[in-house]
Structure 1
């Protein structure tokens, strides 16, 4: 899939959740939030979808942390939609669909290691065109995330085959 950097084309920006430490964003999530906030300031017509549920070891849903941090960076709350139930990349799209449904595409915000798979989910499962904001990955965790991402591709394709061939 060709790298496609976001350029203001799409109305909705899907900010994918990541680990929350207590009620504070992890470094990976903070980089996503910073990229989304800068983009939203550059393109005031876009609306943001903060997406991500609350894990058992998190004090707040990822989406709520994203929304709070976007507002702290000057993004008006009327531009932010919250989806706080998802637990995976596929669910981020699926449970946010009621917000972006009918649009030809989305901008995806995630860390650089995750962009390709996130865009693939959008295309395979939802038929979307996408572009992306490539938030950086914290250097201390990059190797862990890159290895985990390879395993996630295997899971993605197994689940896609099951989904595609379901009765």
Structure 2
């Protein structure tokens, strides 16, 4: 059975997702809502908003996450921002300066993505994780589930290259 997040870890890593203009997509909004509720339950945790700005986005995903968390009552002082990443791996890598030295993190992402995100944390960074599962809107779930399967292939190939690099 998976460990339910209980405030054990100091940092909550909120993975970025699509931004429509300057508004969060439904998938990202669900992540933000889950993270804000968790932050209210555990006022000692700090949140790391991750995600850069894609060419079709009007604002970096991390900045949208931060703005929306503040609108939901999370204190700005508890929110760290990593606004350059373009992948799950980079979400962890580029926010490492914030969480470095911690034994684990709480990861926030949509349900279809949790397993791979936790795998990236363990394989590349040696992190223990628990996770908050945000719902995936039914209208986009089939697309994301297929995309996720392809992402596992990419993860495997990249990890093998990384692990066996000279």
TM-score higher than 0.5: yes
- 1: CA distance, partners of 2:59 / 2:10: 27
- 2:13 is matched with 14
- 2:25 is matched with 26
CA offset at residue 22 of structure 1? 0.1
- 1: CA distance, partners of 2:43 / 2:163: 37
Contact 1:5 1:134 in 2 (8 A): no
RMSD of aligned Cα (Å): 0.7
SS of alignment partner, residue 140 of structure 2: helix
- 2: CA distance, partners of 1:21 / 1:39: 25
Contact 1:28 1:137 in 2 (8 A): yes
- 2:140 is matched with 141
SS of alignment partner, residue 75 of structure 1: coil
Q: Give per-residue Cα distances to partners, 1:20-51, cap 9 Å, x unaligned.
A: 00000000000000000000000000000000
Contact 1:17 1:29 in 2 (8 A): yes
Alignment size in residue pairs: 166
Q: Give per-residue Cα distances to partners, 1:139-161, cap 9 Å, x unaligned.
A: 10010000000000000010001
- 2: CA distance, partners of 1:62 / 1:111: 15
1:38 aligns with 2:37: yes
CA offset at residue 116 of structure 1? 0.2
Q: What TM-score results when the alignment is normalised by the length of structure 2?
A: 0.99
Runs ≥4 in structure 1, deviation > 3 angstroms? Answer: none
Q: Which runs of 5+ in 2 are unaligned?
A: none
- 1:71 is matched with 70
